Structure formats: structure tokens, C-alpha cells
Structure 1
Amino acid sequence: MNQLLFERSTGRIGPNVFARLETTRFLNSFCDAPQFRFDGGERLRGSAVQVDEAGSSVTSDAKTSIWAHQAGVNALAIERFDGRLLISGGSDASVKLWDLEQCGNPSTSHIFKAISQVPRSEKGHKFGITTLSFYPFDSAAFLSTSYDQTLKLWSTDTLSVSGSFPLGSKVYTHTVSPIASHLLVACGTQHPAVRLVDLRSGSNIQSLAGHTAAILAAAWSPRHEHIVATGSVDGTVRIWDVRRAGGAIGMLDQEDSLGLYRNGLLGSDGKVRTRMSAKAHSGPVNGLTWTDDGAYIVSAGQDRRIRVWDAATGANTLANFGPSIKNSHLASVTMFTSPLGLTHPGKEVLFWPNETELLVMDLHDGHTITKLRGTGPAMAGVKSAIGAGSAVKNRVTSIAWRGAGGGGSSSGVVMGGTNMAGALYSAHMDGQIRAWTPQLEGLDEEGEDDGNTEVSEDKAKKRKAMNDVFQNLMGKKITFI
């Protein structure tokens, strides 16, 4: 850090390069922030029980008996303008709203309280929440989907339902274009056709037919407002142009490392020729995302593979993420890449929920930069009020990124340790929402001084010795006669 400051002050590196180098370092230094807890106000009349990996039960005390959603947290979303509001959806169909600016001093412990909540109800959702997202152009509204076969539009201020859209099948995911002027929501359901809901007219205006099984993943292009990618249980990833009457404009093929256009598969009629047997993964595809510049598509499947594709050609870049990838749950997986501008081009970072841990990986060569593990047990169980106990794997169900001003600017991550911007939030099956923040230089040493008297005294002696040497070298020599 001192070397970077020196090079910036001497003009050897510019301010933009300095910011990217620093933000890259922060992206590589995320760690658990157990001092931040989320309390949804739920209390158990019986005793709470946590189950460790060995299967033995440990009764929780009052401090650990705090849940964001006692039944488990299924989904998270953070509005991208101020990065202040967080919404969470539970397995019990409840929805809660959180203010991330409640903590006045982020360097101290804090328990966040839900500022508003809606329980399971006839007007809300009846079954577990699957996906949440804020309306991309106005944080006053957000969307939710549920296993109750509906897509709902909510008012953030009142946490009331503004519109409900029945889709006739279990809804696994939905996505809204971050740049489009249209108000289309692409929904992936148990039905093999992609459902497009127009929020303006309030109707299901179109179905995109092509998949042969349920759709678990969907993502709009951040560059082209009419392009959407979808992933299915049939192992295929299809790219659609919603302006076309029917048929996908392309399919991603795991055996194609050159790309559709470079292979000469563009016909004389202008249509892309693809193999009907083309598959992106050997198992169900349940994760899709684009890089912020729209240059790459990232897909994940239950074949325990993550693949990176050139969005311009459809070529498989052959990035290898190794054998440590875990992905076995038949549900939509939330993953994302580092926001645009935080790293140098070609050095993007992928955040992946790897069952009970978070992996921070290099997007292009696949190596794992760091593994984020919480302090809680890998297995967690809750004994309900009626006495029925259960033990479930403490899986990470959703992750969300909070940038300064919502966008993920360089300044936001650099200040991440002091204002909670540039932070990660994860949802867990044990009912907790956990925070992950970048680690600032010097914090470990200060923490050790606070907890170990011998270490503090030893460091004090070293500082005094160094100070004496400095004074002897720099001070004026005084001779007494």
C-alpha cells in the first residue's frame, strides 16, 4: 500500500490505475463480519437447536437464537442506487425489508432490525419465495416470485402488493432488463416455455418455446435490451431475441470453442445454424449471469461445471474452475461477477455460492482466490414450537452485492471497511443473513493487541526501540561540555 501511494504521488501511476489496483486488493480480501446480525423479530417458544457436522445437537443461547427468517432465507436483493435497502424472502413465504444504514458506526457490532415485513398471507405469497429483484430504474418497487405459481409487484414504501400475475406453474426464477425501456419480466417456470410478463399491460404477452424441460435460470443482457438467456433442466442454454416471433437465435454448445460465427454456421438467410443436440452442460442448468459489459455469459450446471462463454460468438472459453464446484440443489443459483470498473479488463472476479461456503474465483482462468466460510456450523436445525425437529444442510441460498451508490464504483469498495459499501450479503438455510466485508490493512494487528496483553507489550517494546533508532538517526546530536 505504501509503495502504491508513493508511485501515485510521484506520478508513475494514474488515479484510475491506483483505484483499480486497490479495489482488486479489496475484492481479494473479503472475510466474515460476524459483528453484523439480522433480527427479523421471530422468537421460538421452544428451544432452538443447532446440529453440528457430527450430528450432535447443541442448544442455542439467546445470542444465537436470532434469525432473519426462522424457517430459512431463500432470496436476497439490494437496490442499486444508494445500496441502502435490502429485501429478503423466506421459506415461509414472508418478505422483509432492511435498512443497511441503521448502523451508525460500522466498526462496532450491530443487530439490524427489519423495518417492515409481510408474513405469509392471501394477499402476499403462500409458499416459499424463489427470487427477489428491485425494479432497475426505481427502488420504490420490487418483484418477487414464489412456488405458489405467481409473480408479484410490490411497493417498497408500503410493502403492499401492487400487482399479481398467475403463471400456472411453479416459478423458479425471474429477471428484469437493467437497461431496457420495455417493462418485460422473463420468468422461468416448471413449464418448458419462457413466460414474458408485461408490467405495463399486466398480461403474459408471449411465450418463448424451445426448451424441453423446466427453466431454472434466466438473465437479460446488460448491453442489448431485447436479448435474454435462459437455462433449463434439459442442459441447454438458449439466447432469445424477444422481438422475434419464435425460436432462439442461438444455443451454447460445450463442444464449441470457436463460436457460431467463426465456424461458418451463419446461413445465407442470415439465421444462425446450431446443432440440435447442442448442450451447455451435461446436467440441469440452474445458474446464469452476464458480465456488466455484456462481453461474457457465465453458466452453471449440476454437472458441477461453471462455463464462461464469449457473448459475441457463443464460443466456450474453456475456463476451468476445478473439481471443487458443488451444485446439487434443483433451484436457481445466484452468482455474479465483479462490477464494471473495479478490476482491469480480463481480470474480472466471479462470486459463487458453493453450498456451505462462498468462492471468489478468477473468471477467466478459474483459480480460487479465496474461500469464505462463516463461523456457524455446516449443519443447522431448528426445533419448532410444536416440537418437530429437523436438521438441514446450512446451504447458501442467495448472495447480493452492495456497492457505493449501488453501482459498484471504485471509491465504494475502497471505503468498504468504513461505510459497509462494497460488501457481500448471503442468505442461509439456517435463517441467517451474513455480511462479508473487505479487510483493511492494520485491522488484524489492532485486534490482536486488544485480546492479548503479552503481544501488546511485545509490540510496544518494538515500537519504542524503532522510535529510539529513528530519533538517534534523525535527531540533532547534543554535546555537553
Structure 2
Amino acid sequence: MNSLLLERSVGRVGPNEFARVQTTALLRSFAAASRFRFDGGERAAGESLSQASQTSGRSEGGNGGNDKTKTCRWAHQAGVSALAVERFDGRILVSGGTDATIKLWDLEQCANPSRSHVFQPVAAISRAATPSDTSAHRFGITHLSFYPFDSAAFLSCSHDQTLKLWDTQRASVSGSFTLGARVYTHAMSPVAAHLLVACGTQHPAVRLVDLRSSSAVQSLVSPGQIGGSAGATLAVAWSPVHEHVLASGSVDGAVRIWDVRKSNGLIALLDHEDTIGLVDDKLSQQPRYPQLTAKAHAGPVNGLTWTDDGAYLISTGHDRRIRVWDTATGANTLASFGPSIRNSGQMAGAGVATIPMFVSPMGLTPPGSELLFFPNESEILVMELHEGNVVTRLRGMGPTVAAVGTQRGERTVKNRVTSVAWRAAGGSGSSSGVAMGGNNAAGGLFSGHLDGQIRAWLPELEGTHIEATDDQTIDQRDEAEKTKKRKAIDDAFQSLMGRKVTFS
């Protein structure tokens, strides 16, 4: 670090290069920020309301929530299934549960980000009471996203076959769209003037919902999908540079590229065996049509994301492979991520799940050195995008909390990662928001888990030490200290009483 500062001071390293070196180091140093907790106000099984309020009062009094007498806290007791952070101020986090509830959190509640804090929801949307109630979802939330141009609205989709538009400030529904099939995911273009929402559903066709006309205006179907042979669409992602280009991933293992302006919108199918891609052949005047038998993966494709410059598309599937595609040619770049990838595509109690992976925002790392954040069941892998090397494994999930299921009192202790949301630094960044407290330039990460917890991850600044506040860590440290003192007393006692005393 000192040598880098010297190079910067004498002008050998420019400001942009210096910033990239620092942010790259921060991105590689993410660790669990266990001092932040999210309490959705739900009680443990068998705990009365008076007990919960008394315990909560003790835990919140004077120590930022770090009290050994407090009960377990859940963001969503039945499990967290979706997260989203608004991209402008990075202040609002919205979470969805497998029990169909939605909660909004103010991330600026914490006045001192260096100390422990328990976040409370600023608004909560309960599950719909009756099938005719359109003001909320009836079944588990599958995906959440903020309106890309204004944080005053966000979207949600659910297993109840609906897509809903919400007013953020009032936490009330502004529009509801019934798609006639279970909705797994949705996406809006971050650059488009149109207000089309692409939805991946149980139906093979990609459904496009126009927020202006409040109707489903188009279905994207390729010839190979006629008759339903393609199965459900599990992933959709708009190009970040071309407003009419959309990528979709299906159960049949295909990744399709669409141009929504065309009647037959299919323009390409990615083939994992194609390492060359399109070649500019000026002698040939014949258009090249997609090979309808091309497959991107040997199993269902349940994850898609683009790099910020639109140069690469990343896909993942049930074949436990991650592939990086050159979008200029459609070629498989053959990036190898090794055998550690786990992607069963199933989430307990919710069936098929979409993988919410993402690439580090543009500008934080040198060109060609982007990092991929990938939810790998019970951990988050941070990997080099083009080389596939694992940089770090985010495993510090804190104490395992048993979450109560919705059927027959079932309980689960698996810390499966179901969703991740990026909170960028400085309020600028392609993904969302500012860093926790604004004290680091690489941003922050939030993850939702099947045990009902929302966990925060922050870069570790060089030369700083954050006080450990995790209950399990504190208990282990206290027990180790007691054991050390007890051993010292025992040794002293044995040295006195075990020694044979003789008199001359």
C-alpha cells in the first residue's frame, strides 16, 4: 500500500488506475458484516407477544441490539426468496418471502455503520387473505426489482401467476397483471424508452407486459418452442446497451436472443459447442439463420446476466456449468469455473428457482478483470469472470437459526442463498445505491436466505477492526476466556497440592 501511495504521489500511477487498484482490492475482501441484523418482527414458535416485546426492548436498549437475552430474529420467518435495492440513493431494500409477504427496509436507519444495528421494516405488505384480493400476492414471491428510472416504484412476481407494480412510498399496489401461468422472473430494460416488462413463466413463451397500456402485448415464441417442447422460461435479461435486445433461458437448455421489434423476434441461439461464433463474410449475401437445435447447457438454464458494457452474457444451468458468451459473435469463450459449482435449481418449499448472479459494476476493476458473484447454495462465490478462478467464498453466515415452515411445523436450518442484491458506492454505479454508511468505494452486498435471514457483506478496509457482535462468536470467546482462567487456577492448585513436601 505504501509503495502504491508513493507511485501515486510522484505521478507514475494515474487517479483512475489508483482507484481501480483500490476498488479491486476491496471487491476481493468481502466478508460477513454480522453486526447488521434484520428483524421483521416475527416471533419464534411458542413465544407470546408480551415476551417478544419485552425481549426486544431489552435487546434494543443501549447496545445496538447486541444482547444475549434477545430471541432469534427473522426478516421473513418462512424464508427470504427475493431481494432488490434501489439504484439511485441505495436507501431502500425490498425483500420478499416464501410466505408471499413483502417488506421495505430503510438502510439509512443505522447512524454509525461501525457499530451493530438491528434494522426494522418501514413498511410491510401481508399475504392476500382471499383469492379475489388483488392488493397483495397469495403465494411465494419469486422475483423483485425496482423501476429502473425511478425508485418510487418496484415490481414483484409470484407463484400466484401475477406481476404487480407497487408504489414504494405508500407500499400499495398500483397495477396487477395476471399472466395465466406461474411467474418465475421478470426484467425491465435499464436503457429503453419503452416500458416493456419481460416475464419468464411456466409457459414456454416469453411474455411482454406493457406498463403504458397495462396489458400483455406480445409473446416471444421460436419455431422450436411450438407445442411446448421448450418447457418453462426460467431466466430473462435485457441488454444494457441495446434497448430492444432480450436474452432468455429455458428448461430445454437453450439461451435465445430476441429482438422485440420483429414479428419473428428470434435472432440467435447460443451453442456451447460454438467457440468461433459469427464470422463477417462479405462474399456471402445469404442471411444466417439460428440453428434451432443449438443448446447452451445440457440442463435447464436458470440464470442470465450481462456485463455493464453489454460485451458478454453469462448463463448458468442445472448442468452445473457457468458459461460466458461473446455477444458480438455469440461464441462460447470457454471460461472454466471448475467443479465447485452447485446448481440444483430447486428451492425447498418453492420448487424451481432462478439464480440471481451478477457481475461487478463497470469501472471498479480494470477491463477484462470483472468479478462474478454467484450464489452457490449455502455460500456466495466471488470468481474471476474470464478465468473462472475463485477469489473468495463468502461463508460467514452467522449462527444457524431454525426457521419455521408453513406446513406441519416443518423446520429447516439450511442457510441456502436464495437471492443477492448489490448496493453500489457513491450513488452512481449501474446496479444500485451507495455503500453502507458511504465509507467504502466498492459497495456492499445483501443476501437473502432460506432460514429467513437477510445478511450483509462489506469489504474489509485495510488497518481497521470491527468489533465482533455475533452472538455465537461472543459466546465462544467468553467460554474460551473462562476455560483459560479455569486452567490457570487448576495448574496453580495442582502445583501446590501435587508437590510432595518433606521435612528434614
Post-superposition shift, 1:413? 8.4
* Alignment map for 1:379-418 (pairs within 5 Å): 381-383=402-404, 388-391=409-412, 393-408=414-429, 418=439
8 Å CA contact 2:104, 2:121 repeated in 1:
yes
Q: Which residue of 2 aligns with 1:42?
A: 42
2:377 corresponds to which residue?
A: 355
Q: Deviations over 1:365-424 (max 9, x none)?
A: 00000000123367x5334699723226321000010012443389x9899783697000
CA separation in 1, counterparts of 2:193 and 2:106?
29
Q: Gaps spanning 5+ residues in structure 1: where?
A: 49-60, 453-481
Deviation of residue 6 (structure 1)?
A: 1.3
- In 2, Cα distance between equivalents of 1:445 and 1:65: 23
Residue type at the aligned position of 1:261: V
Aligned with 1:111: secondary structure?
strand
Q: Is the 8 A contact 1:341 1:409 kept in 2?
A: no
Partner of 1:183: 195
Q: Secondary structure at the match of 2:23?
A: helix
| 2:358 alignment partner in structure 1 | 336
- Alignment partner, residue 245 of structure 2: 227
Q: 3-state SS of the aligned residue for 1:66?
A: coil
Q: Indicate conservation of the 8 Å contact 1:413/1:421, yes or no.
A: no
Instruction: Give the structure 2 partner of residue 108 of structure 1.
Output: 115
Task: Indicate which of 318, 322, 339 corresponds to 2:338.
Answer: 322
CA RMSD of aligned residues (A): 2.7
Q: Secondary structure at the match of 1:26?
A: helix
SS in 2 for 1:425: strand
**d(CA) in 1 for partners of 2:324, 2:108:** 35
Q: Give the equivalent residue in structure 1 for 2:459.
A: 438
What is the CA deviation profile of residues 34-78 of structure 1, one whole-angstrom value per residue up to 9, with x for unaligned ones?
000001111134269xxxxxxxxxxxx854510100010000000
Pair 197,375 (structure 1): closer, same or farther in 2 beyond 3 Å: closer
Q: Partner amino acid for 1:349?
A: L
Aligned partner of 2:303 in structure 1 is: 287
Cα distance between partner residues in 1 of 2:327 and 2:308: 12
Task: Compute the displacement of 1:442 (Å).
Answer: 1.3
Given the two structures, how large is their TM-score scaled by the length of structure 1? 0.85
Does the 8 A contact of 2:78 with 2:405 survive in 1? no
Residue segments in structure 2 that go unaligned for 5+ positions in a row = 49-67, 347-351, 469-473, 479-504
AA matched with 2:178: P
DSSP 3-state at the match of 1:87: strand
SS at match of 1:223: coil
Report the secondary structure of 2:439's partner residue: helix
Do 2:98 and 2:139's aligned partners in 1 also have CA atoms closer than 8 Å?
Answer: yes
Q: Distance in 1 between matches of 2:259 and 2:172?
A: 33
Counterpart amino acid of 2:137? H
Residues 91-130 of structure 1, C-alpha deviations (whole Å, 9 max, x = no match): 0101110111110000000001100010101211000000
Letter in 1 for 2:358: F
- Relative distance call for 1:414 and 1:243 in structure 2 (3 A) is closer
Q: Which residue of 2 aligns with 1:72?
A: 79
Q: How does 1:73-472 map to 2 (within 5 A)?
A: 73-121=80-128, 122=133, 123-210=135-222, 211=225, 212-261=230-279, 268-270=285-287, 272-328=288-344, 329=346, 330-376=352-398, 381-383=402-404, 388-391=409-412, 393-408=414-429, 418=439, 422-444=443-465
TM-score of the aligned structures, taking structure 2 as reference length: 0.81
Q: Quote the Cα distance in structure 2 between the aligned partners of 1:292 and 1:72.
A: 31
State the distance in 2 between where 1:81 and 1:348 align: 22
Structure 2 match to 1:470: none
Residue 155 of structure 1: CA displacement? Answer: 0.3
Q: Which amino acid aligns with 1:201?
A: S
Greater mean alpha carbon deviation, residues 241-250 or residues 215-224: 241-250
Per-residue CA distance 1:420-467 (angstroms, 9 max, x = gap): 9700000000000000000011124988xx989xxxxxxxxxxxxxxx
Where 1:104 maps in the other structure, the secondary structure is: coil
